Structure 1
């Protein structure tokens, strides 16, 4: 069973803002232009004992078991040379907080998993060996790595970390409800107008006129705004989504977002969509129970939907705001960072050896099949485990196809900003304000964007050299 990615946006917002303010007080912090380089394979020759690599991660339950299996496999293949020890550090923001404490104490793990919203902080900390350095030193071929994932973690032309446990959102539908309403479940709605049209047929009322099944319902989740903007070809923040220079403002008061929020409000007012709020667990429960016939969620939720629903679950591309939008998809999840400062060349190289193992088609086939996360290496989908899963659950192929069809540009790369977690939480606040008060969508989203000006300025000032 796959586990949906953790969402601790509010906690992470406060954490990352604090991390930015701490960077200027940490030796080596600021700027993020690390001079740490990748050592060659020769440093692992003539070892007297295996090099120890501590790997901090946030995978527990089923995902943790699959990861432990990969670690055991690697260790068996590298006995006497490299030994990896996995260490669960709690959820994503807890792991980042633990890493911050380790930086201050000068005792970081050799390898660490950091979620997407921590990317700018990790660059600014200047303590890791950039992924590009390993690629250049070894002539490592990234040709089979999913381009959309490389796009996200590439900054200033260099890959900064290695994608690993990543996901993307999809449109999920109740296929049984579609068939009962006379709709084609093999052609899910592709944009907001089509969702409304389908919802008018899918919404069911009892004899008293009370809605017993809403056509649509999803959480007010900030990640979804990022997705809608990417699919509309709109940047989330300035300076080419923070890719050509430090972001100084967010742009989620864009007309496309205002259109989205106004559409959402209209769906609720017309009783075609269930008012859910920001709780993603409640949104998942509403879909699983048949309370809503269409929803938006991460690929990480698909396994749970299939196992917990009494109806056949269908999946389609994440919708566009309007027909004709260019499309694209922003990934979520985490990536792997190899710490350099305070670690020997042997430890750095040994960490890279393990990362290479994790990125092989064989490892990615097992990882994708066991967890539901995307296969970072697209050749992993051809592996036996992945093929077996695709045969049993063809819905999983939709995510891979959506990424393959994604536009690759700065908009689909996502915004790179030190207070990205706080931005996501603030976007949710503006969105929810528009849905639960008389505040117009344009005003609510503009006010939310303006509230971020000070946190952005403070973070940027804290990392200036």
Structure 2
């Protein structure tokens, strides 16, 4: 899902000072006292209502509703979860900020990955870690890299739910036509560039009918490539040991990545479909692009829509010696503290535990294509059957298992991350257009972002 980065960044900066002032100590982001014991539900009278805000649509919403109904049936007369769709992830964040000001937050809220820093700084939540510690509940079954993303200060802040990761998608038929073996995909950017040249096809008039490579101009991909290299996107250990004070994407490695992308486009070997993700996806499904960067979330749709054999490969490294790995995407579930009874907090935790249990994650994975956040889900027969039907997904499983959780693969936790991403996208466009070198474009993007970073950090203290 593409994001309105500038609007969201302004929203987060403008609202945080008020959110911080509105919070109470028991709802702080690392206050274990905010997690009530299981007895809170036993002592509650009547039905405890849990208002749950989310951004799922289509088949994802159907799968979520089915899980909510299952949970409610199992807790009839005790807990009732009421799912409420709030629009896009950006829309939801805006409404959540307003609900804080009105002291009417939902009990549970689904927030996308790069909104995590804001949620922690809002001081409105009770960390998942606090409940786990209170219960002696093990979090070991959660996928290590997914858990790593939502961990701040050594504590899991939210429960991962709908997670995805990047892949390199292949048109296997185009590979064979070009004399290439799809079982031997490119592993580095240099190899990808070489294969893109061989996969590019023109008709008799000289018009390009198939590009070797194509992806949306989306800052997420640059973040992924930096993480694959083991490089950090922002300081303070990628914002994990403290609030990030500046971005570091304007490094020599960052410039190398952007220049590589621009050179492929200017050389005629990569399609330039712009920033809109649907346009890039349509080009791959139509067969006019042979290699394509996207997330695991589109795999099922691709295999069903494409008229060619869809292959997958691990996200490429910037160079053969890279020791990093990919960053997960998606969203997680946060439990609100201030303004909610102990029974509501506890009921919210029970709901989150239910959603992330192996059985429910297998249902969620097979129904949506999102990566199961619970590693044991992959061991269940229904999940194994799904992977057998879509063997391309095994690439994602192997890629995640092979990635060591580090500060680089945790991703940058920056309060104005949406705006940072937009800045990188502008830098890519400028480099492709030739108005700036990759290094200058990224340097300018970092400089332009700095006031927003400082404003955000000062608003949260």
> How would you bin the TM-score normalised by the shorter chain?
over 0.9
Cα pair distance change 1:347/1:448, threshold 3 Å: same
Aligned equivalents of 1:82, 1:444: Cα separation in 2: 53
The equivalent residue for 1:300 is 297
For 2:109, which of 109, 112, 115 is the aligned residue?
112
Aligned equivalents of 1:21, 1:229: Cα separation in 2: 32
Query: What is the 5 A alignment of 1:150-161?
Result: 150-161=147-158
2:48 maps to 1:58: no
Aligned equivalents of 1:134, 1:415: Cα separation in 2: 25
The equivalent residue for 2:372 is 375
Query: What is the 5 A alignment of 1:20-419?
Result: 20=16, 22-23=18-19, 26-28=22-24, 32-34=29-31, 36-45=33-42, 47-419=44-416
Deviation at 1:270, TM superposition (A): 1.7
| 1:36–1:128 contact (8 Å) kept in structure 2 | no
Aligned equivalents of 1:284, 1:413: Cα separation in 2: 26
Deviation at 1:14, TM superposition (A): 3.1
Q: Give the unaligned 5+ runs of structure 1.
A: none
Deviation at 1:7, TM superposition (A): 3.6
| 2:30–2:126 contact (8 Å) kept in structure 1 | no
The equivalent residue for 2:5 is 9
Secondary structure at 1:212 match in 2: strand
Partner deviation per Cα, 1:236-265 (whole Å, 9 max, x = no partner): 001111112211110111111111111112
Aligned equivalents of 1:31, 1:161: Cα separation in 2: 13
Aligned equivalents of 2:33, 2:340: Cα separation in 1: 11
| 2:104–2:339 contact (8 Å) kept in structure 1 | yes
| 1:423–1:452 contact (8 Å) kept in structure 2 | yes
Secondary structure at 1:87 match in 2: strand
| 1:132–1:160 contact (8 Å) kept in structure 2 | yes
My pick for the range that moved more, 72-81 or 356-365, is: 72-81
Partner deviation per Cα, 1:198-221 (whole Å, 9 max, x = no partner): 112211111122211110011110
Aligned equivalents of 1:74, 1:35: Cα separation in 2: 26
Partner deviation per Cα, 1:292-338 (whole Å, 9 max, x = no partner): 10010111121221122111111111111111111311111111001
The equivalent residue for 1:19 is 15
| 1:237–1:415 contact (8 Å) kept in structure 2 | yes
| 1:13–1:425 contact (8 Å) kept in structure 2 | no
Residues paired across the two proteins, number:
460
Deviation at 1:417, TM superposition (A): 1.3
Deviation at 1:6, TM superposition (A): 4.7
Deviation at 1:383, TM superposition (A): 2.3
Deviation at 1:455, TM superposition (A): 0.3
Per the normalisation by structure 1, the TM-score is 0.96
Partner deviation per Cα, 1:368-414 (whole Å, 9 max, x = no partner): 00001110001111223322211111111211211111121111111
My pick for the range that moved more, 52-61 or 26-35, is: 26-35
Secondary structure at 1:443 match in 2: helix
| 2:5–2:419 contact (8 Å) kept in structure 1 | yes
| 2:29–2:125 contact (8 Å) kept in structure 1 | no
Secondary structure at 1:293 match in 2: strand
Deviation at 1:278, TM superposition (A): 1.3
Cα pair distance change 1:46/1:461, threshold 3 Å: closer
Aligned equivalents of 1:313, 1:278: Cα separation in 2: 23
My pick for the range that moved more, 177-186 or 441-450, is: 177-186
Secondary structure at 2:297 match in 1: helix
Deviation at 1:95, TM superposition (A): 0.7
Cα pair distance change 1:22/1:157, threshold 3 Å: same
Cα pair distance change 1:431/1:392, threshold 3 Å: same
Aligned equivalents of 2:342, 2:236: Cα separation in 1: 36
Secondary structure at 1:216 match in 2: strand
Deviation at 1:22, TM superposition (A): 4.1
Aligned equivalents of 1:297, 1:203: Cα separation in 2: 19
Aligned equivalents of 2:130, 2:28: Cα separation in 1: 17
Q: Give the unaligned 5+ runs of structure 2.
A: none
Deviation at 1:49, TM superposition (A): 1.9
My pick for the range that moved more, 279-288 or 7-16, is: 7-16
Aligned equivalents of 2:303, 2:3: Cα separation in 1: 21
